[in-house]
Structure 1
C-alpha cells in the first residue's frame, strides 16, 4: 500500500508492505541518487536488520552505519555530537542521506541530527517498532530530550520516504507491542470510532495480528491527513497529543526508566477522560470503554502518582500556547477537540 503526505515541495511517499525491508534498496533508489548513505540504528535492531539493509545499499552507494545503545536515554542532546562525528568521519555531505532504522528513539534522534547537520541532509525513516510505524516516523517531528522534559529540543523536518514493514514486528518483545498499541488506540479515540470498535472486538494482539497491516495503514492515514492540515502543530495536529500531557509528565517523573511512552499515553488517555467526564466535558462511559480496550492489549491505566508531583512537567508541556494549556479531550470515542485551560484543570490532591 502506498500513501502520500502532500506538503508541496516537502511531499513524500509512505509504503506499507510485508517484507518490504527485503527490497528496500529499490525504493530508496527511486528517491535518492546521491553517493553516500549513513544508517543510524541501535544495538537491538541493527543485528536483526541492519546488515541485510546495508548489503542491499552497498550495491548502489558508499554505505556507513552507526549503532547506538537502545532506550530513551540515548535520545539526549549529549549524544548529538556522536552522530555528527560519525557523519563527518564518513564524509556525509548535504547531497547524501541518513536512514533512521529503528523505533521512535532512533527516528527522533537521527531525524534531528539530519535536520541540523550541515543545515539539513536528506532523511529516510524505516521504523521497526509498532509505535514508530503508526506514529513517530510520519509527520516530520524530530527531537531530543532535555533533563527538564521530553522532546524539548527539536524541529519539523520531513523525511523523503517512509518504509513500513509489519513483519519486523514479529521480533518485538510483548512489552514493545503493548507500547505501540497505546498509540494505535489513541487514533481510534481521536478520529476513528470504527477502528476503536475493531480493536475492542478482538481478544488480544495475537488475535488482531492478521489485520495488522490494514490497522497500521488506518493509523498512518489519519496522521497523514492531520499533518497535511497542520504541518507545524498549531491547530488540529495537537489532537494527536491526546493523553500526552499526562504521559510526558509520568515519563519524566521516573526519568524515562519505568513506563514506556505507549504505556504512559495509555494512562494519560484513561485518566484525562475520567477527569473530563467528572467535569461534564466528555460523554459519560467513554473512560470505561478506553479501560476495556487497554485491558485487552495489556496496557496500564494508572501509575499511583499524585497529580501534584506531575505539575511541573505539565506546565512545560509544548501545548502551552499564549499562557494556556491546550488539553486534548474527547467529546466521545472518535471525536476529539482542543480544550484551552490551565494546570488548574487538574485536582492536585488526586492520585492517578
Structure 2
C-alpha cells in the first residue's frame, strides 16, 4: 500500500474516503464484525472480486460473490431483487455487509441493495472507475433506474467507508477516463477552479492514470463533494449544486437508452447549463466559452442532436429537481458561484439548446 490519503465525509454517519494505490488490504477493517459479506461485481471485474473474496476469507469473513450485469444494465429492480434473494438464501443478518466492486452503476446498485436489506446494512464501495471515485461512490446516494428515468428510485445510505484504489485506473480505456473527468470538471466550475487550471496547464497529464496530476484531480474533486454532502446529506439545499449539467445530461442518457457514457452526457449538459445561464444574463461569455474549450480539449462531446429536443424536454420534466410543472436548473452566476434558475421560459430553454445543437446542424 503506498501513501494513503484519507478524506473525511461528515454528517450523521461520518466515514472516510481512502485514496491511494493497492488499497484492497484496507477493506477488511471496514467490515469488522461482519460474518458474511456479499461482493457485487460486473463480469469484467470477476478477478478483482475473487481477490477481494480471498482477502475477506483470510480475515475470517465468509464472502458471497454476486455477479450482476455490467454498467446501467445492472441498475434495475429485477437485478436488485435477485441480489436480495441471494442474501436471503445465504442467511444475511443485520451485522453482515455488502461490497460493490466496479464503476458508478455497480456501486449505486450495491448501496441500494444494502439500504433495503433488513432496512439497512453496512456497505462499502470499491470504485474501479474515475467516474465512480469522484461521483457515485461518495455521498451515500444509492439508486436504480426505471422506465421513467435515471435514479428516480433510491435511498440515502452512507457507506462505512469508500475505497478509491488508483491502480484500478491503469487499465481503464482513455475514453472512460475522459468521461470520468467530466465530473471532475464539474467540480472545478462549481467550487474549485484550481481543477480547471490543472487540466488546462497539462491536458495530457490529466489523461495519464498513473500520474500525479490525476491523483490531485481525484482528491480535489472528492473534497468538493465531501464538503457539500457533509452539510447536506439528503439534497435539501446545497447538495443540489452537484447536479450541475445533470438535468439535460440525465435526459440524454434516457433518450439514448443509457447507451451513452454518463460523463459524455454530463459534458453536453454542462455546455447547455452554461448557455442557459448566459442567455438568462447570469453568466459571462468567457466562462461560458471556457466550458466548451476545456471539455473539447479532453475529447468530450459538447453537442447533441437538434431533432431530439422534444424528447429531452419531456425527460427533463421528471427530473428530481423539478417542482410541479416547473423545471429547475443549477446554473453559474460566475466561476465557482452557483445558483438556481427556477421555471425558465420555454423559449429560453429552446434557445439554449440551439447553442448545444449548433455543431450537429453544421
Provide the TM-score with structure 2 as the length reference.
0.91
Deviation at 1:323, TM superposition (A): 4.7
| SS of structure 2 residue aligned to 1:321 | coil
Deviations 1:225-269 (A, max 9, x none): 100111110211000000000001011011112x21100000000
1:185 aligned partner: 185
Whole-Å Cα distance in 2 between the matches of residues 104 and 342 of structure 1? 31
2:250 aligned partner: 248
Q: What are the ranges of 5 or more consecutive residues in structure 1 without an aligned counterpart?
A: none
CA contact (8 A) 2:34 2:95 kept: yes
Deviation at 1:216, TM superposition (A): 0.9
2:20 aligned partner: 17
Whole-Å Cα distance in 2 between the matches of residues 112 and 243 of structure 1? 24
Structural mapping, 1:147-226, within 5 Å: 147-204=147-204, 205-206=206-207, 209-226=211-228
Deviation at 1:31, TM superposition (A): 5.0
Deviations 1:61-112 (A, max 9, x none): 1111101121212111221111111111222111101011111110111111
| SS of structure 2 residue aligned to 1:81 | helix
Q: Find the partner of 2:320 among 318, 321, 345.
A: 318
Whole-Å Cα distance in 2 between the matches of residues 3 and 116 of structure 1? 27
Deviations 1:262-310 (A, max 9, x none): 0000000012212321221211122211111112211000111442221
1:59 aligned partner: 58
Deviation at 1:15, TM superposition (A): 1.0
Structural mapping, 1:140-151, within 5 Å: 140-151=140-151
Whole-Å Cα distance in 1 between the matches of residues 265 and 253 of structure 2? 7
Whole-Å Cα distance in 2 between the matches of residues 92 and 171 of structure 1? 34
2:282 aligned partner: 281
Distance 1:138 1:234, change over 3 A: same
Deviation at 1:171, TM superposition (A): 1.3
| Number of corresponding residues | 346
CA contact (8 A) 2:328 2:340 kept: yes
1:4 aligned partner: 8
Deviation at 1:342, TM superposition (A): 4.3
Moved more, 277-286 or 146-155: 277-286
Whole-Å Cα distance in 1 between the matches of residues 330 and 288 of structure 2? 14
Whole-Å Cα distance in 2 between the matches of residues 160 and 54 of structure 1? 18
CA contact (8 A) 1:200 1:292 kept: no
2:240 aligned partner: 238
Whole-Å Cα distance in 2 between the matches of residues 31 and 70 of structure 1? 25
Deviations 1:12-50 (A, max 9, x none): 1111111112x234xx32552121111001011223x11
CA contact (8 A) 2:71 2:103 kept: no
Whole-Å Cα distance in 1 between the matches of residues 208 and 54 of structure 2? 35
Deviation at 1:155, TM superposition (A): 0.7
Q: What are the ranges of 5 or more consecutive residues in structure 2 without an aligned counterpart?
A: 358-362
Whole-Å Cα distance in 2 between the matches of residues 255 and 161 of structure 1? 32
Provide the TM-score with structure 1 as the length reference.
0.94
Deviation at 1:207, TM superposition (A): 5.3
CA contact (8 A) 1:315 1:343 kept: no
CA contact (8 A) 2:183 2:266 kept: yes
Whole-Å Cα distance in 1 between the matches of residues 345 and 215 of structure 2? 39
